[in-house]
Amino acid sequence: MAKLMIRGLETYVEIWNEEAQQTLVVLHGFTGSTATWRTLAEALPNVRVIAIDLIGHGRTAIPQPISRFSMQEQILDIEEVCCQLQLKKFTLLGYSMGGRIALSYAISYPERVDQLILESASPGLRTLEERSERCVKDNALAEKIVRNGLLSFVNAWENIPMFESQKRLPRSIQEAIRAERLSQKKEGLAGSLRGIGTGVQPSNWLSLTKLEFPVLLITGSLDEKFCKIALEMKALLNIVKHKTVNDAGHAIHVENPAEFATIVEEYLTSFNTNERS
């Protein structure tokens, strides 16, 4: 684990299996942190796993101006992390919000990316109207987080329909997820919603056809919204696979960590670049 000074922002990075040859950079979702990926890293002993606390999350410093939370700023931060860690090419994996960031980074720096893995992720919203509506909702939620505090937000957030399937998980896992959410700071989450939420990020739909590296889309069968998005993305991407994990919702790495790790490991070790599906 290390704290790096990244473009004026102290940024927390955690690295597992440092001696491994293959590198996987992983980006967590909203309310997550590097802790999101510990189980995956332990399941991939032959892969160097590098996790970053994204802006507004975990132990990375919280900037004051909302503009510092933007997608472009986050992309530049990830690139600076790669430079400081001397990463030339790697596989990039992102979950949910981290998937939006991973895709945006890969579009900006395609020469860095061997393969891209997106778990329950989207290229953003297509239309200005959709983005405007989402901005209003995200700003309202950010205001509520600041006003009512983190505990009130987490109590509501863990009960949204997207996470319904997580209520079947063992109590210990549910408590670990809750602890990770409660380890955040309200100013960081509010800034993240306002600065890099789905409403404010540029749409990446039109860029999908230009990507020349392989992309793996992973969705849970219970997460109908993101299964549909994945099918729409698959139709536009050049070298793509889509894996659906049965009886899992939005957070496959939490709900079925063994199958998720197997999918990632098989993709890392046996991908044939001539294969399209």
Beta carbons of 104 and 200 less than 8 angstroms apart:
no
**pLDDT for residue 273:** 39
Distances in whole angstroms, Cα of residue 123 to Cα of each of 83, 206, 247: 25, 9, 24
Beta carbons of 214 and 239 less than 8 angstroms apart:
yes
**pLDDT for residue 2:** 86
How far is the first Cα of the chain from the last one, in angstroms, to the nearest whole number?
Answer: 38
104 — phi, psi (to 5°)? -65, -40
Distances in whole angstroms, Cα of residue 142 to Cα of each of 64, 195, 197: 15, 10, 10
**pLDDT for residue 1:** 76
Nearest CA among 213, 264, 274, 271 for reference residue 243: 264
The H-assigned helical ranges of 149-170 are: 150-157
Beta carbons of 53 and 184 less than 8 angstroms apart:
no
How do the pLDDT tens digits run along the chain, 277 residues long? 789 999 999 999 999 999 998 999 999 999 999 999 999 999 999 999 999 999 999 999 999 999 999 999 999 999 999 999 999 999 999 999 999 999 999 999 999 999 999 999 999 999 999 999 999 999 999 999 999 999 999 999 999 999 999 999 999 999 999 999 999 999 999 999 999 999 999 999 999 999 999 999 999 999 999 999 999 999 999 999 999 999 999 999 999 999 999 999 999 997 533 343 3
Beta carbons of 117 and 91 less than 8 angstroms apart:
yes
Each residue of 30-52: b (16+ CB within 10 Å) or e?
A: bbbbbbbbebbbebbeebbbbbb
**pLDDT for residue 271:** 57
Domains of the chain in sequence order: 2-125+202-270 (3.40.50.1820)
